[in-house]
Chain A
């Protein structure tokens, strides 16, 4: 599981990014972090990934410090921009994860990419792939070593609306099979509703977790026009509006 306890982070020459954030993500659960731009969502995720050290509070992954969880290969991280080595093919990029971690057991990169519909693009370089394909390779890189916990930082944020909807449906299918614990940072309420068991909402900077909503199973659907999904999206928006003032 993922545990963030009273986490605060203050960057030099700036206001606090997050203040006293508490969040627990249970095993096999997917929790989304929603909030306005600059509210500290990505900072929380980076703290959980061990990329930032909190000024106060603790972050744990399955009871381990994030750095130790990384060392043991318990963590997979996918960023908004695909983190692919330009001089390596899709297959080599996925294999890079295994070259570095050398896990005892892992998925076969080739089979994984084939499962992701990229069988014909194994030997293509990143610049030869579309944005959606690059993002699928990016997620394959985060999944190939079979981590128990997955951290996703706006993985589809840079994609167009239709590709984003397609990939959200695709990711739902992938995660349903792997059953990983996931912390997802997103700006899209629809994406959060379609994927999450719970949605944690942050206030504007300094980010505090102000509300956590359960998402009913009926709302977690690929059909964003389903009545349950529409109702949940409206409920989340209402809740967000309570602590995010409307722009002038």
Chain B
């Protein structure tokens, strides 16, 4: 059976179950709008929704790219210099545990409602899984293989490229599965705190206006983005790590 068949099956059955619940329990539309009503919002407000979606997507991808740069740079530093890890690790744990709404609020005061605070939130949420997985992956390189390369007079850079980095790739993709999807939720959370644009802002706006149909529409878009991000990661992993499935 194709792996995507059950996913499609659930996607097809969910609206049916949703509609069935409405037929059976007959909740007021303000509490639980019908799939048809939400689909109507998705179509009639498509231009506005698309604009806000692009804003969120930009923040998520931008923040995620920054998180990758930072995490890969630090993972490489820790791989080459164990002292750096010993010195920086406690401070990274501190940074990881800063409540991001507090930090983001400070940044908003300092920088205003700009892109920067949202990027910081996305980086804070997604940076650590990447750093932890890649560091662990680099350390998992087979020591016997490293010895073989040393007897072939390989430079540290060659050992990194030929052994350590390929060893870290499966862990890196595992981190993407968590962190890339998380970047979208993080961007929405940041907008929810302070923004005039984006899906997070729409959620706040729809809640204050009692627009449950719009709230559901935004939730569906956010879910679709997260699923797409996850699918992209799985697709890339399947291509890059093709040898593991043979």
Contact = CB atoms under 8 A, between A and B. Distances in A.
Interface in A78-97: 79, 81, 83-87, 96-97
A71 B149 CA distance: 11
Interface string A216-234: 0000000000000000000
B142 interface: yes
A97 B163 contact: no
B96 interface: no
Given A83-B142, A87-B166, A51 B151 contact: yes
B246 interface: yes
A184 to B, nearest CB: 16
A75 interface: yes
A141 B153 CA distance: 14
B155 to A, nearest CB: 9
Nearest to A80: B144
A24 interface: no
Contacts of A84: 145
A77 interface: yes
A104 interface: no
Contacts of B142: 83
Contact of A128 (B145, B154, B246): B246
B203 to A, nearest CB: 43
Contact of A70 (B144, B152, B162, B241): B152
Interface residues of A, number: 26
Contacts, number: 58
A128 B243 CA distance: 10
Nearest to B159: A100
Interface string A109-135: 000000000000000010110000000
Contact of B163 (A50, A71, A75, A85): A85
Contact of A101 (B145, B147, B152, B246): B152
Interface string B94-131: 00000000000000000000000000000000000000
Interface string B233-246: 00000000101101
A25 interface: no
A31 interface: no
A125 B245 CA distance: 10
Contacts of B145: 83-85
A51 B243 contact: no
B246 A77 contact: no
Contact of A77 (B151, B162, B166, B243): B151
Interface of B: 142, 144-145, 147-154, 158, 162-163, 166-167, 169, 241, 243-244, 246
Interface of A: 46, 49-51, 67, 70-71, 73, 75-77, 79, 81, 83-87, 96-97, 100-101, 125, 127-128, 141
30 contacts: A46-B147, A49-B147, A49-B151, A51-B150, A51-B151, A70-B150, A70-B153, A73-B153, A76-B151, A77-B148, A81-B144, A83-B142, A83-B144, A83-B145, A83-B147, A83-B148, A84-B145, A85-B145, A85-B162, A85-B163, A86-B166, A86-B244, A87-B241, A97-B152, A100-B153, A100-B158, A101-B153, A125-B246, A127-B244, A141-B148
